[in-house]
Structure 1
Amino acid sequence: MAEPSEVLVKMVNIRKSFGHVEVLRGVNFEVGYNEVVGLLGDNGAGKSTLIKILTGVHQPDSGEIYWKGKKLVNYSVAMARELGIETVFQERALSEQHSLWRNIFMGREITNRWGFIDIRKQREEAERIIREYMGFTSSALSVDAIVGTMSGGEKQGVAIARALHFQADLIILDEPTTGLSLSETQKVLSFVEEIKKKGKSAIFITHNIYHVYPVADRIVILDRGKVVGEFMKAAISLEELVEKLYLVARTGRLNGESETSQRTPTTPHGLESLMP
Structure 2
Amino acid sequence: MTSTMFHIGGDLGVRRLGFGAMRLPAEQGPAREASLAVARRAVELGVTLIDTAHMYGWGANEELLAEALYPYGDGLIVTTKVGVSRSASPAGWKLDARPDVLRVQVEHALRRLRVERIELLQLHRIDPEVLLADQLGALRELQTEGKVGRIGLSEISVTELDQARQIVDIASVQNRYSLLDREHEPVLAACEAAGIAFLPWRPVASAASDASGEIAAVAAELNATPAQVSLAWLLQHSPVILPIPGTARIDHLEENLAATRLHLDPARRDRLDRLAE
Q: Please indicate the TM-score interval, normalised by the length of the shorter structure.
A: 0.3 to 0.5
> Max radius of gyration: which structure?
1
Structure 1 or 2: more strand by fraction:
1
- Normalising by structure 1, we get a TM-score of 0.39
- Normalising by structure 2, we get a TM-score of 0.39
Structure 1 or 2: more helix by fraction:
2
